[in-house]
Each structure stands twice: as structure tokens, then as C-alpha cells.
Structure 1
Amino acid sequence: MGEIDLYTAPRLQSELTRILDESAPAFMVIDMSGVEFCDSTGMNVLLSAHKRLRERDGVLEMAAPRPAVRKILQVTGLDSVFTIHEAVPEGLPAAEPQV
């Protein structure tokens, strides 16, 4: 399990930027099942990627957030910003992180 926080968020930011720049997806689902904790820095990285995709008429969604992350999304109101799936939708191509 991992955390998205002040120390790990820059790696996530770099990886999301690389994916958005190189493959320019119109649709992205981030599998949050392995994330135990996400602080405001991590949420800002996810929001930034969400904004970049929306500017291109794309969509960024989250899947399978663990209870602690789901609570953060609810408390901050971000559960109304992101579409959140209970599980990773089947049939989606997977991108392997290069972190």
C-alpha cells in the first residue's frame, strides 16, 4: 500500500504529465485501490490532471478508493468533482506507471 503525499506527489505529477503529454488520452481512470492515504498535495495533483483532461474535453475518474481516501474525498467535496467507481471498470487498457 502507498501514500500520495508531499514526498510522493511530485513523482505522480511527473507520471501523469508524461502520460497526458505522450498519449493524450481522452479518458483516464486512476486505480486508487493501493492508496492508503492521500493528502492535499496529492489531491491537488489529481485535480490538476483532471483540469488538464477537461480542457481537452476529456475525463479523469477514480476507481476503488480505500475508506480513508474515500473519506478525504467526501470531506473535501471532491467526491462531487470526480466520478468514483467502486472497482476498476473492466475492459480498460492499463498504463503501467514508470515511477
Structure 2
Amino acid sequence: MPDVELNVSTASQEGHTVVTAVGELDLYTAPRLQAALAGLLREKVDRIVVDLSGVEFCDSTGMNVLLAAMKRLKEQGGSLELAAPRPAVKRILQVTGLDTVFTVTDAAPAMDAR
């Protein structure tokens, strides 16, 4: 099995939380993103932006993690947004029709440099 890595970090920014994923989001690495999102849901964060600009690949497991988090967040009255997906990830969103389910923005969230 190849050594595939996914790094996930979170940062609070102006009323929302940015979750940045870098690497490949698949069956083996999705639990890492799922754990980060579940932690934010427990904290009752109401707006999450998932920065996908560093995600090179995403399979159905990764999409399901994002979908489940969005559903739970909506149930809590919040929202989940996907930011800056690379062409390969954007294509998966389009092929599956999930580009109409998720709020997708082309720009990565601006992080405070302070």
C-alpha cells in the first residue's frame, strides 16, 4: 500500500471555522477529516469552510464524510461550504451532482496573517 497522507488543520476566523485538508482524501485518510469535523460539530460551530485547495484526490468515502458533516451541521442550524476544490475534485462534485448540494466557492478562504 502506498504511503498516502492527509493533513487536516483547523483555524477559527471571523465567525467561522476553516478546515484545511492537504493530501489525498480516500478510504484510508477520510477518518482524519471525519474526526476533525466531528469535533467541530460537538463544539456547535455554526459555519465551517473546508479548504480543498490542497486535496489532490477525493473518493466516495471522502465525499460521504463531507456530506454527513454538512447534514449534521444543517440539523444544528449551521452551514458547510467547500472552498477552492482542484479540478479533479471539482469534476467528482460535478459528475455526482454534489456541486448542486454543496455550496462551492472557487477561492480559498483568506487566512488572517496576524
Verify same fold: TM over 0.5.
yes
Structure 2: distance between partners of 1:88 and 1:67? 14
Q: Which runs of 4+ in 1 moved over 2 A?
A: 88-92
Residue 20 (structure 1) aligns with: 41
Q: Alignment identity in percent?
A: 65
Structure 2: distance between partners of 1:9 and 1:91? 24
Q: Tell me, what secondary structure is at the counterpart of 1:34?
A: strand
**1:32 Cα offset (Å):** 0.2
Query: Counterpart amino acid of 2:98?
Result: L
Q: CA RMSD in A?
A: 1.4
TM-score (norm 1): 0.86
Which one scores higher on RCO, CA 8 angstroms, separation ≥ 6?
1
Structure (1/2) with the larger helix percentage: 1
1:80 aligns with 2:105: no
**1:12 Cα offset (Å):** 1.0
Q: How many residues align?
A: 91
Structure (1/2) with the larger strand percentage: 2
Structure 2: distance between partners of 1:85 and 1:91? 15
Unaligned runs of 5+ in 2: 1-21
Matches within 5 A, 1:49-64: 49-64=69-84
Unaligned runs of 5+ in 1: 93-99
Query: Counterpart amino acid of 2:35?
Result: S
